[in-house]
């Protein structure tokens, strides 16, 4: 399919994120046995960037586990703009069983992911369920509860069809994840997506990881760096502050929402773990880390009171 220039630059952000994660894993920030199968190279980034990735991965994991403990055996996870995320394989290693796990990204990304899974024994083994066949097309893969599907999140009709193909049960407890994805999508389309999810999924929790507090000098430098790479940050106006992240859910028929900046998320992680990773690399300027953490947030939205207390407190 023909892709717009803008979309190509957005797709490239997945390679960047994957290379950064691989670099941080190599230094021992967290364990991920699967990321090397998806991305060959790694990027050596500044210590504060690595700590940022650590806080993001661990912060999101913390919410995932809270959700799973409440949702029970019918739990579903739908990762929007999942890129080369390895969550399914990491959960599998912890013997966590899910009713359904769906990854969605542009077909240009999922076709690469499907191809890599198909030719890698370690990856394939863990998605292969006894007595279940693996169904493959160039852009989609279905294997028991695991589904990797190509779709444009701006196209709700296509998304809905693909979710039916992935045998998603709209009434089951469902966790949506969107890490650094919504910022690339026009506000109108995000609003449409969020209100569609709210009406379709009565028992759902949504995790957004995104930039926030984007109206100071530090933010301008961050934005300039991203724009140089040709990315159109079409949804940046929702990243103004924590309130604008929360408001997005409230305006689109969600029952409730709450946002935390990454300073709060980082300090909610276990002390022992923080001390461990802070010894991995020498950090010159603590101030820079705090500034970086003030410019990213996790925002949660829920459609049922059951998930209102999944939080960082
Ligand atoms: N969530 C992954 C992570 O945290 O590592 C990948 C993040 S990457 C910065 C952004 C991802 O969102 C890319 O893989 C991109 O292709 C995907 N994406 C952006 N807009 C999309 C859209 N309209 N439809 C489907 N995927 C989209």
What pLDDT shows up at residue 182?
A: 97
269: helix, strand or coil: coil
pTM of the prediction?
0.97
For residue 131, report the distance from its CA to the centre of ligand 1, in Å.
32
> How many distinct structural domains can be found in the chain?
1
Kindly give the number of the ligand 1 atom that is closest to the alpha carbon of 83.
14
Alpha helices of 72-144 — where are they, by DSSP H?
Answer: 87-93, 107-118, 121-127
Instruction: Indicate which residue's Cα is closest to atom 18 of ligand 1.
Output: 81
313 falls within a domain: no
ipTM of the complex: 0.99
The residue ranges of the chain whose pLDDT is under 50 are: 1
* Residue in 184, 235, 262, 296 to alter for ligand 1 test, most ligand atoms within 8 A of Cβ: 184
181 falls within a domain: yes
Instruction: Indicate which residue's Cα is closest to atom 12 of ligand 1.
Output: 81
Which residue carries 């006894």 as its tokens?
A: 130
What pLDDT shows up at residue 229?
A: 84
Instruction: Indicate which residue's Cα is closest to atom 16 of ligand 1.
Output: 11
What's 93's domain CATH number?
3.40.50.150
165 falls within a domain: yes
20 falls within a domain: yes
Whether residue 52 contacts residue 112, with contact meaning beta carbons closer than 8 Å, is answered with no
| 192 Cβ closer than 6 Å to some ligand 1 atom | no
Which residue carries 């998605």 as its tokens?
A: 127
Instruction: Indicate which residue's Cα is closest to atom 15 of ligand 1.
Output: 11
Parent domain of 283? 5-307
312 falls within a domain: no
What pLDDT shows up at residue 7?
A: 87
Round the CA-based radius of gyration of the chain to a whole number and report it: 18
Q: pLDDT tens digits, residue range 176-205?
A: 999 999 999 999 999 999 999 999 999 999
What pLDDT shows up at residue 3?
A: 61
């Amino acid at each position: 399919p023909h892709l717009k220039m803008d979309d190509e630059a957005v797709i490239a952000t997945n390679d960047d994120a994957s290379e950064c994660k691989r670099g941080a894993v190599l230094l021992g920030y967290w364990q991920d046995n699967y990321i090397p199968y998806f991305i060959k190279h790694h990027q050596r980034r500044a210590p504060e960037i690595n700590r940022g990735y650590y806080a993001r991965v661990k912060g999101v994991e913390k919410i995932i586990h809270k959700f799973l403990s409440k949702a029970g055996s019918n739990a579903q996870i739908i990762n929007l703009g999942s890129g080369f995320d390895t969550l399914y394989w990491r959960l599998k290693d912890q013997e966590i069983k899910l009713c359904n796990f769906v990854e969605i990204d542009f077909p240009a990304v999922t076709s690469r992911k499907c191809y890599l899974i198909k030719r890698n024994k370690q990856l394939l083994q863990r998605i292969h369920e006894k007595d279940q066949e693996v169904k493959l097309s160039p852009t989609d893969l279905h294997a028991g509860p695991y589904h990797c599907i190509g779709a444009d999140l701006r196209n709700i009709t296509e998304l809905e069809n693909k979710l039916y193909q992935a045998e998603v049960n709209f009434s089951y407890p469902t966790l949506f994840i969107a890490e650094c994805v919504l910022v690339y999508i026009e506000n109108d389309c995000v609003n449409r997506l969020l209100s569609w999810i709210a009406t379709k999924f009565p028992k759902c929790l949504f995790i957004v990881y995104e930039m926030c507090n984007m109206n100071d000098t530090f933010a301008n430098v961050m934005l300039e760096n991203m724009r140089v790479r040709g990315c159109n940050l079409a949804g940046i106006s929702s990243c103004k502050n924590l309130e604008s992240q929360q408001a997005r859910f409230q305006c689109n028929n969600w029952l409730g929402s709450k946002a935390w900046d990454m300073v709060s998320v980082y300090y909610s992680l276990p002390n022992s773990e923080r001390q461990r990773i802070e010894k991995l690399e020498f950090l010159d300027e603590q101030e820079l880390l705090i500034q970086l953490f003030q410019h990213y947030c996790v925002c949660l939205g829920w459609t049922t009171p059951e998930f209102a207390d999944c939080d960082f407190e």
